[in-house]
Amino acid sequence: MLAVLYLIIAVFFGTQLIRLLIPDIRRLYVGVASDQSILEKVPTSLFLFPAGTLIGLVVMTFTTYILAYILYPFIPSDTATLLPADILAMCLFTYLGCLFWQRCFIRNYRKIKAGVDLNKLSLFQRRPGAIIFFSMTTVLVLIALVFVYFYTCHMSDGKICLGYSIFSDFSPHVAITSGFGVGSNFPTQYPHFAGDNIQYHFMFYFLTGNMEALGLPLVWAINIPSLLCMLSTLTLLGTLAVLLSGRRAAYLFAPLLVLFRSGWNVFHQVGELRDAGSSWGSVFKFLAEQSSWYGYTFRDEWGLWAVNVYANQRHLAVGVGIIVIFIFLFLPHFRRMFLHLTRTEGFKEKCKRFFASREAWIHRKDDPLKPWGSVILLSLVAAVMPFFHGSCLISALLVLFGMAIFSEFRLGYAVVALVSVVSSVLQARFFAGGAGNVATFKYFFGFVIPELNGKNQSGFGTALSYSGKVISYLNKIGYLTVIIPCVLFFTLLIYELVKRKNPYRAILLIPFSFPLIFAFYCQVSLEVLANHKFIQVSFILFDILIAGVLANLLALPIPIKERLPQPKKKKKKAETERVFALSKKTFIPVQIASAVVCLGLTFGLTATGISEWFIYRNINCCENGKQYYITLDPNAPIVDWVKKNTDEDDIFLTPMWSTNDFFLAGRRVYYGWPYFAWSAGHDTETRQINYQWLLSGANNNIDEFRRYCAEMNIKYVICCPDYYGPEETDGFYNPDFFEANLKEAVRFDDQNMIIYKV
């Protein structure tokens, strides 16, 4: 199938591009790892394939879109809109992938011929235990993701079933996917708000639409890229956690913490139930059977922080994965700065190295990391990212800014940031008419904390009081995900400084927190609640280091005294490394106690997430005959008629639909459910006035009605009972006008629906 071939080519291209620009991934691991002994336990493939998948998909998808946009005016009406662009893209990226593979082969051959040892660095030791652990963990994560994605978006009896917990936000995603899969959304417009460009980061749904155009059913077209991207992201998070912690078990803990989030919700809920007199048995029964999100903080009743967000916002995985790749490739320069500062004597020399040395701003001479290869790779990714996930690109820039402060090779950071900003401005102008239509950065303090929204912080006492409310709110939504990083920062920093070791892991928590801080001080879109993605990004990045803490507690890296290797020659006192060790009698009790602490912390970190998985299951299933799935019929008569009898760029005047079979035909509507368009930045107030005017028949003026419809490319009007009820349409809808002045195109008696041609 062409869709599968497309994905294979994208992964092949991405992996070969990484191999070309990052010649030695083992060297990259050396620059990231806190303990060099861990290198032989981490396979190169855990970075190469997930990073190659994400990079290949975003670069190839963006290129396909540009090709489709250029070719669109020249494509015959009887030819699939995306097919010529897809063929060109697949040929181009197959050629590039093969070319890059050839270059890598020739480069390695020349090195071998020159006597260079390509295995100089520690290679992954293919021990059965390690292979089984990484493989089984990856399979378990994949199974969990299959449940998350297919449980709320699947086919049943030939119909698309959308879970009750996701169908609202999923409505525009389905419409955008179908708009590219079976329609022709060029120039691209928001399906629920046609005629006003698009201000939403839609590019992931162009990918899913392209999968549908290449033959995958819509459900699989959405779920397969979602699985690939989320699995790649969680794999990268786990790999980074292993390298930073020096413990292989972190590979399991990292995705566990992301999928089962920390929060105070379930503990507060249990306290309420117990205070009301419920027994422990009834409490657990209630938690297992509850079918609505527990509203502990503002909008918790939407499942704002729950696993539901990953099912809802499929494009979030791409954004987070790209952030992790950015961190991976710049982390060696971040680590080097602290490594060389610890080796520099004297405050003046340290300041000189930090501020005025060559390495602080420009790459090192003969750097084996080949840093400009990383910069080129990241610049390419940054250039195509703005409309894949704008919030995650902003988060990436915030994290990189924090890292650059404490890093070497700051010029590399500046280049990537410049490319990101320039590309964002150009794409915003191309897709949305201007950067101001996509993001408006303005001061807004307090996120969605009711007591703080937009308030001024003047005065020390006031600022202190407000800070207390922010800390309290963060504790509620994050709990141990907030507490552990704070404790870890101070304890790890003090430990590393006392031991005269590189403190880069502790300092890394500072840039990781920048998106969270940004969320409380800046409003990017009309819907300030959208800032939750910045907070979520910081929490996910915190999970990397928390996973390392849990992995180290699970099996403390402390040897038994009798097993310590004895030095052959007596070292000087200053050169003797003191190794903390346990006696045989205390080793096992201490390890057991540490494992118990690990399990206790793991429970505290995942308890709310576990309870929310039960909610996620219950809210999207049938109970007492009540159907919780929203169903869409790809074979509905209206879908078939619209596909066969209307042009791909025709716009329809419809009720304020959010989800409807109609959108599976890939056509756009003049005014759909307004929240989607409003939160994306469109002027829904003016459009609603015009919409109501149209529903009245332009005040019974057929000439004005036709003139405005021609101006907005509205070719059809759908009349049905859905106009009755909503106050925005009930008093304005004039079906007699349409019956008297427009030609009936088709009637669907079973739905009491008539489509008129303007």
pLDDT of 575 strictly over 70: no
233 and 369 share one domain: no
pLDDT digit string, tens, across residues 107-135: 888 878 877 666 666 577 778 888 999 99
Question: What are the CA-CA distances from residue 90 to residues 2, 48, 204, 382, 458 (Å)?
Answer: 10, 21, 18, 22, 58
67 and 150 in a single domain? The answer is yes
Question: What confidence tens digit (pLDDT) does each residue in 49-71 have?
Answer: 999 999 999 999 999 999 999 99
pLDDT of residue 456: 59
Q: Lowest-confidence range among 338-347, 399-408, 467-476, 637-646?
A: 338-347
Residue 565 domain-assigned (yes or no): no
Band (pLDDT 50/70/90 cuts) for residue 464 is low
Q: Is residue 462 part of a domain?
A: no
Task: Specify whether 358 is located in the same domain as 244.
Answer: no
Q: Are residues 228 and 333 in the same domain?
A: no
Write down the H helix ranges in 526-566: 532-554
CA distance 392 to 382: 11
Same domain for 222 and 327, yes or no, is no
Read off the pTM.
Answer: 0.93
pLDDT digits (tens, 9 = 90+) for 181-209: 998 888 889 999 988 888 888 999 999 99
Q: What is the mean pLDDT of residues 533-541?
A: 96
Residues 325 and 240 in one domain: no
pLDDT, tens digit, for every residue of 387-411? 999 999 999 999 999 999 999 999 9
Q: Among the three residues 437, 467, 496, which one is the final residue of a domain in this structure?
A: 437
Verify that 244 and 366 share a domain, yes or no: no
Residues 243 and 363 in one domain: no
In a domain, 617, yes or no: no
Distance of alpha carbon 192 from alpha carbon 672, whole angstroms? 4
List the structure tokens of 217: 């059913």
pLDDT of residue 574: 42
Please indicate, yes or no, if residue 233 is contained in any of the structural domains: yes
Residue 248 in tokens: 């292989």
Q: How far apart are CA 305 and CA 293, in angstroms?
A: 10
Q: Residue 433 and residue 428: Cα distance in Å, rounded?
A: 6
Task: Mark which of 398, 422, 437 sits at the end of a domain.
Answer: 437
What is the distance between the alpha carbons of residues 32 and 325, in angstroms, rounded to a whole number? Answer: 12
The answer to the question of residue 705 being in a domain is yes
Assess if residue 414 is contained within a domain: yes
**Is a pLDDT exceeding 60 seen at residue 327?**
yes
Residue 44 within any structural domain of the chain: yes
Domain boundary among 437, 460, 476: 437
Total domains, the chain: 3
Asked if 15 contacts 44 with a C-beta cutoff of 8 angstroms, the reply is: no
Query: Domain check: are 63 and 160 in the same one?
Result: yes
Tell me: pLDDT of 303 over 90.
no
- Distance between CA 629 and CA 293 in Å, rounded? 17
In a domain, 236, yes or no: yes
Distance in angstroms (rounded) separating the CA atoms of residues 404 and 333: 9
> Phi and psi (nearest 5°) for 35?
-130, 115
Query: Coil, strand, or helix at residue 683?
Result: coil
Same domain, 94 and 238: yes
Higher pLDDT, 263 or 585: 263
- What mean pLDDT comes out for the span 22-30? 91
The answer to whether 153 touches 219, Cβ cutoff 8 Å, is yes
Q: What is the pLDDT of residues 722-758, one digit of tens each?
A: 999 888 888 899 999 999 999 999 999 888 899 999 8
- In which domain, by residue range, is 225 found? 2-173+210-249
Same domain, 345 and 234: no
Residues 341 and 218 in one domain: no
Kindly give, in sequence order, each residue whose CB lies less than 8 Å from that of residue 705, ignoring residues fewer than 6 positions away: 694, 697, 698, 741, 758
User: What's the CATH code of the domain at 674?
Assistant: 3.40.50
Give me the chain's average pLDDT, please. Answer: 89
